[in-house]
Each structure stands twice: as C-alpha cells, then as structure tokens.
Homo-oligomer: A and B are copies of this chain.
Amino acid sequence: MKKLINDPADVVREELQGIEAAHPDLVKVAYDPFYIARADAPVKGKVALVSGGGSGHEPMHGGFVGMGMLDAACPGEVFTSPTPDQMEAATKAVDGGSGVVHIVKNYTGDVMNFEMAAELCRAEGAEVESVVVDDDVAVQDSLYTAGRRGVGATVLMEKIAGAAAEQKRPLKEVADICRDVNSNARSMGMALTSCTVPAAGSPTFELGDDEIEMGVGIHGEPGRDRMKMKTASEIVDMMATAIVDDAPFSNGDQVLAFVNGMGGTPLIELYVVYNELNKFLAGRGITIARNLIGSYITSLEMAGCSITLLKMNDDFTRLWDAPVKTAGLRWGV
C-alpha cells in the first residue's frame, strides 16, 4: 500500500487538522468527538443541515460545509459510519433554534448510528428530521434487503436543501425538499480498479487487468456484475439505461447530470463520459439543464465513475443556482 499518509490510525485526525488549517474562514473543526461545523454556526433562525458518513469520500461531506450547503459534517473512520456521539455533538453545535435535518445515506451502519443520535438529540429537546438517501439503482430494492445505497444524490441534496435552508424555509419544508430530491434522483457507479482502506492495507477487491465492476458501491462493495472492459460509450450506455429505465425520467424532461469521478479517475475521462451521456440523453429526448462534473463523492483512489440524474423543476433549479461557499463547491459568491 502506497499512500500519502503517516500512520493509518491517524489519517482522519490529520485530514481534519489539514482542513482546519486550510479553511478557517469556512469551517471550525472539533476533535472530541470529530465534526466539522460552519465557521459561523449556529446560524440563528436557519434550519441546520447535518450529514456524515465514513471518511474516504472527500470532498463529501466535510468539503460541503459552509454557506448554502451543510452546517456540519461528521467524519467516521475511513468507510465506517461515524458514531452517535459525533452526530449528537454536531447537531447541538449547529442547531440555530429552527430544527436540524439529518441527511443519512442508506447504509445499515449510518442509519443505525444516526437513529441513535436522533434519539439522544430528541431526548434533550432538539427538533430533528431524518432523511435517508437511497438512489443507487445498482442495488435491487426489496423488502428483503437493506434497500438501495445512498450515493451521488447526496451531493445534490446537500446543495439544494442547503440553499433552501439558507432562505430560512422551515424544517418540514427543507426535509421534504430532501425527500423530493431523493425520489427524483437515480445513480449508478462502476469501477476500473479497487481501492485500499488504509487500515486494511490491501485492496478491498481484486479486478483483472481487463475487468470492470459494474454497479460498484462507494466503499468498494461489489456491484451488479463483473464484466470485461468496455468502451466509454458502452459503459455509459449500460449505466444510463439502468438509471433512465428505473424512472422517473422521460422524454421532454430537464435533468441535472452529475458525472462523478471515484477518486482515481482523471478529469479528461470524466469529460469523455459526459460527452457520451449527453449523446445518450439527447437520444432519449432528455435535456441536461444543469451539470456537475468532477470527483465529489469518492472512494479513496478507486478509478471509475458514477452517473447521477436528477429530474429538475423550477424550485430545484433556483436552489441549485443559489450561491454556495464551501471548500468543495463554490459559486455565486
């Protein structure tokens, strides 16, 4: 394992120290327990957005803390859900009196830890709404599984709901916007290579020199299918077909197209993928109204990409365009 780290046990702490040193204008960092909060938190009269998850997906979530997006992020160990005490402390630190939304990606660990945290917070009188993101069409959704994983839609939800919160919309409405984003978004990912969890020291999975993992999860969970390497055009076709056929996209729709790098994918490839996606959607009569291209929800150094489509409406578009000032996403200010 070759990584730009010191001791694997210290990676998250040292990353936080780096973030604290780099962005004092945007965030403040707490170490016991770990969380990252907006520099100006709590913002009085604003619904606060708290998210979190395992580390190793940077810039998500810590890089999305700031004006117009998250109020706090709780980083777990690499690929491991954070703990309830982190979420509880973060929630208290950013609660501006108008309630807090917990944005939870649908993984058993995240869901259970956030559940315990919400119980603790509510016991102390905080108003907490939990929303679960589950947009990954790679996973069969059924009563007999943990359900779909939360992936790319999380980034879009944090931006759009963050803008709504900034406009001082009430708790219920902000939480409903989150749910609305979730039900109008679908994602699918694929990997060209595995990633290596620092503490594990060896690749999470093995892929042949001519193999790809279609439908991979953001923690290197195996996907739908292992298959032979394909062209970008074939790969996009498979992913976009799975997404579009799942609903809710149809001819005439306006979408936000998010082409995401998994961490080890060069930008040049993401633009090749975007080009293919653009052609694919044009063929289905779907218009890309907004886009996001880059590595925003990553899996350490995994090479590969994911595609997320969000069906847009006027409110989503205005909220997406609203100013945002975070280390990972910034415009309008």
Interface residues of A (CB under 8 A from B): 2-7, 11, 14-19, 21-22, 55-56, 58-59, 63, 78, 192-193, 209-210, 212, 229, 231-233, 235, 263-276, 278, 288, 291, 293, 295, 298, 300-301, 303-305, 327, 330-333
Contact = CB atoms under 8 A, between A and B. Distances in A.
A75 to B, nearest CB: 9
A114 to B, nearest CB: 22
Given A19-B271, A267-B298, A274-B21, A229 B2 contact: yes
Nearest to A6: B231
A327 B293 CA distance: 9
Contact of A6 (B2, B15, B232, B263): B232
Q: Please classify the interface of chain A as helix (H, G, I), strand (E, B), loop, or mixed, using the class held by over half of its residues.
A: mixed
A267 B63 contact: yes
17 contacts: A4-B269, A4-B305, A6-B231, A7-B231, A14-B232, A14-B272, A15-B272, A15-B275, A21-B278, A21-B288, A56-B266, A263-B264, A264-B266, A265-B301, A268-B300, A293-B327, A331-B333
B58 A266 contact: yes
A321 to B, nearest CB: 12
Contact of A271 (B7, B58, B273): B58
Contact of A55 (B11, B14, B268): B268
B264 A6 contact: no
A303 B303 contact: no
A264 B276 CA distance: 22
Contact of A266 (B16, B17, B263): B263
B266 A298 contact: yes
A7 B276 CA distance: 13
A137 B177 CA distance: 51
Given A3-B269, A59-B267, 6 more contacts: A18-B293, A22-B274, A78-B268, A264-B266, A301-B303, A332-B333
Contacts of A273: 4, 18
